[in-house]
Amino acid sequence: MFGFGADIGIDLGTASVLVYVKGKGIVLQEPSVVAIDNNTNRILAVGEEARRMLGRTPGNIVAIRPLRDGVISNYEMTERMIKHFIAKTVGRKLFFKPKIMVCVPSGVTEVEKRAVIDATNEAGARQTYIIEEPIAAAIGAGLDISQPNGHMVVDIGGGTCDIAVISLGGIVVNTSIKVAGDKFDEAIIRYMRKKHNIMIGERTAEDLKINIGSAFNRDQEVSMDVRGRNLVSGLPVNIKVSSLEMKEALDESVLSIADAVHSVLERTPPELAADISDQGIIMTGGGALLWGLDKLIANRTGIPVYIAEDAVSCVAKGTGKALDSLHMLENTMQNSKTKYV
């Protein structure tokens, strides 16, 4: 237990939720999955335990992901999931409700922001703050965004890819596209069905992406054994898949990310573009770890690309650091119940 009323930062991701507790760092990282009993509407499992049920449940049990493409698709389940994670990190009996800061993609609408705020308040927040993911990612990556220098951040999560140029603590130019980790998995599933006539599940696709996924040609090809269901015979089969095939499967998705980076650079003011050219582009988020994606973007833009240290937890760390500076940030915020950073 971390005391009463501890301030909390939540990276509410499509694929996973990370929780930062002030003074303690990241205390929880679990998949954004909820398993419910359809007959009673009772939650059976949340997080890693629920993820293990994906694709393996009987008729009355459904494992669902309440966030899609970076936004809430199932409000009630999101609220219950947040409540569960808050209870898990700071205990169920709170004398004082915590202040909570939540990350949202830079492209979300006011309605989508409101849904996140309402769900977090209902889950037990005393006050909810909203911070946009590129800002949190930049802070988490150790960039000093308060200076009049241009920084470019490419944050690739599960549902969205956020690309932003940041200067003086704010976003100057940005775009948010719904091509990220989940779309990579879908592309792999489609490729396996089309090329090998095999149906594989989300978890197998994710394993392929992590182990042999490629966005750029490798010097040495790697391969992996995959088990799936043959669509003709209906029987389980085992085949070997190469990294070259994964590059072919992911080509369209990774090129759309490179195109989006290029379009943001085109709209960047010349002085900031010069800063970015000198300092390079910073990549954060789990999707940034796809092999060769940094090389592809560097090749496309002619600008050095760096993957942030501990890329997966950059956003959550940035949220936490922003929480530590609330006394400064509150001066620029107005509404007493709903706060924006």
CB 106 within 8 A of CB 174: yes
Write b or e for each residue in 65-83: b if 16 or more Cβ atoms lie within 10 A of its Cβ, otherwise e.
bbbbbbbbebeebbbbbbb
Token readout for 242 is: 């190469």
> What per-residue confidence (pLDDT) applies to 38?
84
Query: Hey, which bits of 222-270 come out as E strands?
Result: 223-230, 236-242
**Residue 152 to residues 9, 265, 279, 314: CA-CA distances in angstroms?**
23, 9, 9, 15
- How many Cβ atoms from other residues are within 10 Å of residue 13's Cβ? 27
Write b or e for each residue in 315-335: b if 16 or more Cβ atoms lie within 10 A of its Cβ, otherwise e.
bbbbbbbbbeebeebeeeeee
Sign of CA dihedral 309, 202, 208, 69: negative
CB 61 within 8 A of CB 45: no
Task: Delineate the domains of the chain, giving CATH numbers in brackets.
Answer: 8-136+314-340 (3.30.420.40), 143-179+251-311 (3.30.420.40), 181-250 (3.90.640.10)
Can you tell me the distance from the alpha carbon of 188 to that of 190, in angstroms, rounded to the nearest whole number? Answer: 5
> What per-residue confidence (pLDDT) applies to 2?
42
Sign of CA dihedral 138, 254, 66, 54: negative
Read off φ and ψ for residue 179, nearest 5 degrees.
Answer: -125, 110
> What per-residue confidence (pLDDT) applies to 333?
39
Q: Is 252 helix (H, G, I), strand (E, B) or coil?
A: helix
Helices (H), ranges, 141-231:
181-196, 202-212
| pTM of the predicted model as reported, rounded to 2 decimal places | 0.87
> What per-residue confidence (pLDDT) applies to 255?
96
Rounding to the nearest 10 degrees, give the CA dihedral for residues 299, 300, 303, 304.
-40
> What per-residue confidence (pLDDT) applies to 92?
62
Q: What size, in residues, is the chain?
A: 341
> What per-residue confidence (pLDDT) applies to 341?
47
Can you tell me the distance from the alpha carbon of 88 to that of 291, in angstroms, rounded to the nearest whole number? Answer: 34
Walk across the sheet containing 236-242 and list its strands: 198-199, 223-230, 236-242
> What per-residue confidence (pLDDT) applies to 326?
64
Residue pLDDT tens, the chain, 341 long: 444 457 889 998 888 999 998 888 899 999 999 999 888 888 889 988 888 887 777 878 888 888 888 888 888 888 888 888 888 887 765 557 888 899 988 878 888 888 889 988 888 888 888 998 999 999 999 998 888 899 999 999 998 999 999 998 889 999 999 999 999 999 999 999 999 999 999 889 999 999 999 999 999 999 999 999 999 999 999 999 999 999 999 999 999 999 999 999 999 999 999 999 999 999 999 999 999 999 999 999 999 999 999 899 999 999 888 877 765 555 433 333 344 44
Which among 145, 142, 173, 153 is positioned nearest to 270, based on CA atoms? 173
**108: DSSP letter:** -
Token readout for 263 is: 């379009």
Which among 285, 267, 288 is positioned nearest to 276, based on CA atoms? 267
> What per-residue confidence (pLDDT) applies to 80?
86
Token readout for 338 is: 């709903």
